[in-house]
Structure 1
């Protein structure tokens, strides 16, 4: 594996981790909203 391939792999891996974290935050946020709206009912 060349340095260039490694660099691309690391970038892809990092952006995927960022995406996963954002997705998790989004799910948590929507769950909180859902719970709050249920409490208001």
Structure 2
């Protein structure tokens, strides 16, 4: 969001880390659980 010049808070609403695509898809705790589930299914 910061790269798109969004004037809001750059921190994640849930965990206070800086929001980024890496955070959203890989380092956010919920994303880790989702990826583990996907790995188990595949």
> Smaller-chain TM-score range?
0.3 to 0.5
TM-score w.r.t. the length of structure 2 is 0.38
Q: TM-score, normalised on structure 1?
A: 0.39
| Bigger proportion of residues as helix | 1
- Which structure is richer in relative contact order (CA contacts within 8 A, separation 6 or more)? 2
Greater C-alpha radius of gyration: 1
